[in-house]
Structure 1
Amino acid sequence: MDRARVAALADERLDWRFKAVPAAGWGLTAAEYLATGPTLDGLATPLVTLDAGALDHNLSTMAQWCAKAGVGLAPHGKTTMAPALWQRQLDAGALAITLANLPQLHVARAFGLRRIHLANTLLGPAGLRWIAAELATDPALRFTSWVDSVRSVELMAEALRGAPAPVDVCVELGAPGARTGCRTLAEAHAVAQAVHTAPELRLAGVSGYEGAIAHDATADSLAAVTRYVTELGRLHQLLASDDLFETEEVWITAGGSAYFDTVTEQLAPLADDRTRVVLRSGAYLAHDDGFYRGISPLARPSAAAATPFRSALHGWARVVSRPEPGLALLDGGKRDFSYDEGFPEPQLVRGRGRGPSGGRITALNDQHAFLRDADAGVSIGDTVRLGLSHPCTVFDKWTLIPVLDSADAELPRVVDLVRTYF
């Protein structure tokens, strides 16, 4: 990445556009604001923060896990859309950053990202012509897209006709009832042959997403994931035996943040001097206090010796009403916190060092959370820390996220600001 462009984020002026920044910080650059020594108590609610220690822990834990397992990592950048965090992941050994659509590619190139894996099919002619121009003007740029049909190959080739260099693609394998991807090995083989005969494209590997196969860690779900990943490995072997791959390095890539252990167990043995197995886990960096806490491979009973990830993501909301017994209304809701994989989890009341006893969030409105249970032990004006589930739908709600030295500290200090681009 362009380190100077990332570093220049510290020079951005803060103002009312950033809902996490108090009025006292308006007019200052991000660096100037941090130099004032801000603390959590100086920030308004609703609020989302990151924990510096947890980020460091998760970054090193995943890097060490991949190194020990002998697999590469191209973390999914759509989780955070934060170039400064992408830079940290690359510095920790990531091979590339994975993205999901054309607007995300625009952000990446604006920050000089040169190793990009698009976990999607890029079909729009305007987008294809743009990436072709980027490849032509930046010889160091390495870009790979996905494809899952012969028709997609035809459309891509047509849009790229006359481009100075081919675009690399991976054939995507899916599964019946799942998301995108060829449904059979025969279909995938036909797509690979079509790529091989199109001068505008080069076959660079095989790809898939096992997270579309299952959504929990039951024995049946893990077995289904294993079957799917095994088929992905068979696809690689089939295309390799037919000598269809055209790039110096070939990728077999899968692995979200829920089943990367299964992916590694099945695919890592296929790596060789030319073939690289690459995970695309993205949620591990922030982790969570919900979906990923319950499904992460490093938190399952079978991984008793593993070092689990720590949640770096927290919400903060203030009690603004106690309109009836057993109910407190907080000033944060759907516009602030994730809710698609479970409601926020009340964890502690600021200044009391304990959680709201028995309290639970039962509903969210746009700007309110319903904290219920008679012995919740909160009063109007109290600030409640919330554990959040599914980081992918938290980051997109905040253009600037304060990073605390420790969310568990008596008075957390703001030590950084993470800028996002959605």
Structure 2
Amino acid sequence: MSTEALARLAEERVDHRFKGLPPDADGLTVGELTAQRRNLFTDGFSTPVLALSAERLEHNLRLMETYAARHGLAFAPHGKTSMAPQLFHRQLEHGAWGITLAVPHQVRVARAFGISRVFLANELVDPAALRWVAAELAADPSFRFVCYVDSVRGVRLMDEALEGAARPVDVVVELGAGEGARTGVRTEAECLAVADAVAAADSLRLVGVAGYEAEVPQADPERVRAWLARLVALAVDLDKAGKFARTEEIVVSAGGSAWFDTVAEVFTGIPELSRPVLKLLRSGAYVSHDDGHYRRITPFNRVPAEGALEPAFRLWAQVVSRPSPEQAFANAGKRDAAYDLDLPFAQVVRRDGVERPATGVEVTGLSDQHAWLSTASGAELEVGDWVGLGLSHPCTSFDKWPLIPVAEADGTVVEYVRTFF
């Protein structure tokens, strides 16, 4: 099913739905356009246009594959970052155990493209979604689905919705990261009560514990390490109490994109339990990385010997107005660029096929369709120039572009990534 579904992406027609693509490509299939190997800069692409670097994308995929293997971690990267089935499958080809997702719609996309292992890093109490999950499990014996639980009431709602299900739904108790954090059980005593509720529910099976360490209040290495130790201790205590009697392996899962080095460190010390332990890392932003938030906080900054992720996104905009020596405007705005954490970063200017650093050019604001550029004295910037912008926060970059060209260093477009948000 996955091969057929991915092949159908290549059969989709290029048209007005996909911004930035060459107008003269309308009517071609994505596969036909890919085969033309057009150049991003000289073959009709219009600004603004977001592109992924083919080389950096592959580098990031390989780096996290080797990192997880080196530290004995299974890897289920968070697919909500990209919601791109082509990237899901490339992550699986690079050793991923499965794909992490956050809401039922995302799971439906993953299943439509043949993803056989899904970790839903969220609670799920919607009856319609649960019945759909139950039907998928019944129809496909190879489908593995795991989700969070964090309340006795939530367990009861799940059990009611799943009454008569052919296969139980696997769940992990989510340990909250602390008071004021996001979802998750706050105390170990409450975790035990939730585990007991799962044991009493015929339609559910407790398979482990999980959480999200980036939600630890005032997170630093010591606080994150202490919370991860609590998570491991919870798994040990629940195992001693016989709460994992119905599962063949015990899942212990954590790991966003900020603290996966600490997760690897603490998970190395997980003791032998009654069943094999699946140490499941879920970092997802690595696939494209970025030029702002994640570049600052990546664990590879703390352990450079492990390697370095590379920002794979660049948004190309064109200068459309230069009203004064101190100001210019480019034709990319909030509809095109991530801006929830940082403004885009002016990196390069391209004119007449020549690229140079965007010295003296700074993005100071975004309107719906314009980037406000501040230009220092002597900055070389003219109407018609293309400006290459680095972006911060990939999670809100992919969702603005339904079809993203993947370009090699010389501008040759070798693939188009389809997103589903």
Q: TM-score range by the shorter chain?
A: over 0.9
Q: Give the conservation status (yes or no) of the 8 Å contact 1:260–1:279.
A: yes
How far is the alpha carbon of 1:307 from its aligned partner?
1.1
Q: In the alignment, which residue of structure 2 is the partner of 1:4?
A: 4
1:158 aligns with 2:160: yes
Give the alignment of 1:130-209 within 5 angstroms. 130-174=132-176, 175-209=178-212
How far is the alpha carbon of 1:358 from its aligned partner?
2.1
In the aligned structure 2, how far is the partner of 1:68 from the partner of 1:166?
A: 33
In the aligned structure 2, how far is the partner of 1:214 from the partner of 1:259?
A: 14
In the aligned structure 2, how far is the partner of 1:349 from the partner of 1:339?
A: 21
Q: Give the conservation status (yes or no) of the 8 Å contact 1:320–1:381.
A: yes
Q: In the alignment, which residue of structure 2 is the partner of 1:257?
A: 257
1:359 aligns with 2:361: yes
Secondary structure at the aligned position of 1:130 is classed as helix
In the aligned structure 2, how far is the partner of 1:124 from the partner of 1:314?
A: 38
Give the superposed CA RMSD. Answer: 1.3
Residue-by-residue CA offset, 1:111-142 (whole Å, 9 max, x unaligned): 12111110111111011111101111111111
In the aligned structure 2, how far is the partner of 1:353 from the partner of 1:39?
A: 15
Residue-by-residue CA offset, 1:126-166 (whole Å, 9 max, x unaligned): 11111101111111111011110011001101111111221
Secondary structure at the aligned position of 1:309 is classed as coil
Residue-by-residue CA offset, 1:208-242 (whole Å, 9 max, x unaligned): 01122268xxxx62222112111111111111111
Give the alignment of 1:296-375 within 5 angstroms. 296-300=298-302, 303-351=303-351, 352-375=354-377
Residue 74 (structure 2) aligned to one of 66, 72, 75: 72
Residue-by-residue CA offset, 1:238-289 (whole Å, 9 max, x unaligned): 1111110121121100001110010111123216561111100100010011
How far is the alpha carbon of 1:367 from its aligned partner?
0.7
Residue-by-residue CA offset, 1:313-354 (whole Å, 9 max, x unaligned): 111111111112311111001110101111101110014432
Q: Give the conservation status (yes or no) of the 8 Å contact 1:20–1:402.
A: no
In the aligned structure 2, how far is the partner of 1:224 from the partner of 1:20?
A: 44
In the aligned structure 1, how far is the partner of 2:375 from the partner of 2:27?
A: 43
How far is the alpha carbon of 1:373 from its aligned partner?
2.9
In the aligned structure 2, how far is the partner of 1:38 from the partner of 1:76?
A: 31
Secondary structure at the aligned position of 2:166 is classed as coil
Residue 54 (structure 2) aligned to one of 52, 55, 70: 52
In the aligned structure 2, how far is the partner of 1:271 from the partner of 1:294?
A: 33
Q: In the alignment, which residue of structure 2 is the partner of 1:123?
A: 125
One-letter amino acid matched to 1:374:
A
- Segments of 4+ moved more than 3 angstroms: none
Secondary structure at the aligned position of 1:270 is classed as coil
Q: In the alignment, which residue of structure 2 is the partner of 1:244?
A: 243
In the aligned structure 2, how far is the partner of 1:118 from the partner of 1:304?
A: 31
Give the alignment of 1:390-401 within 5 angstroms. 390-401=393-404
In the aligned structure 1, how far is the partner of 2:166 from the partner of 2:72?
A: 35
1:22 aligns with 2:25: no
Q: Give the TM-score normalised by the residue count of structure 1.
A: 0.95
In the aligned structure 1, how far is the partner of 2:149 from the partner of 2:268?
A: 23
Q: Give the conservation status (yes or no) of the 8 Å contact 1:20–1:400.
A: no
Q: Give the conservation status (yes or no) of the 8 Å contact 1:97–1:117.
A: yes
In the aligned structure 1, how far is the partner of 2:330 from the partner of 2:82?
A: 25
Secondary structure at the aligned position of 2:355 is classed as coil
- Percent sequence identity is 50
Of 273-282 and 389-398, more deviation after overlay is shown by: 273-282
Secondary structure at the aligned position of 1:188 is classed as helix
Closer/same/farther in 2, CA of residues 176 and 137 from structure 1, 3 Å limit: same
In the aligned structure 2, how far is the partner of 1:13 from the partner of 1:261?
A: 43
Secondary structure at the aligned position of 1:287 is classed as coil
In the aligned structure 1, how far is the partner of 2:54 from the partner of 2:271?
A: 34
How far is the alpha carbon of 1:5 from its aligned partner?
1.3
In the aligned structure 2, how far is the partner of 1:338 from the partner of 1:299?
A: 23
